[in-house]
Structure 1
Amino acid sequence: MTTPLPGQPVRGSTSGRPIMALLDLLGRRWSLRILWELHQGPATFRDLQARCEGLSPSVLNTRLGELRRALLVEIGESGYCLTADGEELARRCLPLAEWAEHWASRLPAPEK
């Protein structure tokens, strides 16, 4: 599977529109989690895998490659980190995280 990039057909769309490429990329298993974890700070491969409990090394390697080709993640001195575009994307996700906290506060407590 190729990295979804603007101007190319992606899963669910042949239009090449940038939003469709972004939705395809972020809709892949673990992509958003990896971005969110790297928003917390740089991480080595092993650290990132530990932060993303249950993520296999092969899937992590694949997703990191896709996110690097999309110019959202790079390798820095401290390990993997977000690029300026990756940081911007994470910042734009913050309102969604705030909404999720509000939503969670309105739901009944889970049964044990």
Structure 2
Amino acid sequence: MPETKPRRRVRGSSTGRPIMVLLDLLGRRMTLRILWELRDRPLTFRALQEAAQTNPSVLNVRLAELREAQLVGHGVEGYALTAQGRDLLQTFLPLHAWAENWARQVVKGPPGAVRSKR
């Protein structure tokens, strides 16, 4: 399993700077989706697998990495974000709002553009 702790070498960075380690972890397949699906409540493995629409082997690996990074924990109710994971997700909310606004603008088209009638 690739490293998920700061000060360790990761893909694209030999320095192990915390931001590089975090971006490497977040860039792995299904990581962001798993964090997003856990935003509101804990989920069992099966419920998380269904919500994230992924296979069990990928989910197992990602959960192990997220647990090692202390972003996700496991308890009686299933997998849940830790305090660190919730803090990280809070940093995504402005990006989420920006993306929603951006999507509306892209659908409308550039200023002054004429939309074709279909």
What is the TM-score with the length of structure 2 in the denominator? 0.88
Residue type at the aligned position of 1:47: A
Identity between Structure 1 and Structure 2 (%): 56
Corresponding residue for 2:83?
84
Answer yes or no: is 1:100 the counterpart of 2:99: yes
C-alpha deviation, 1:108, in angstroms: 2.3
Map 1:14-93; keep pairs closer than 5 Å.
Answer: 14-53=14-53, 55-93=54-92
Q: Which has the larger radius of gyration?
A: 2
Q: Can you list the C-alpha shifts for 1:79-110, whole angstroms capped at 9, x where unaligned?
A: 0000000000001100011011101111227x
TM-aligned CA deviation for residue 10 of structure 1: 0.3
**What whole-Å deviation, never above 9, does each CA across 1:1-58 have from its counterpart, x for those lacking one?**
32321011100000111000000000000001100111121100000011112x1110
The alpha-carbon deviation at position 76 of structure 1 amounts to: 1.6
Length-normalised TM-score, structure 1: 0.92
- Retained in 2: the 8 A contact 1:3–1:70? no
Unmatched tracts of structure 1, length 5 or more: none
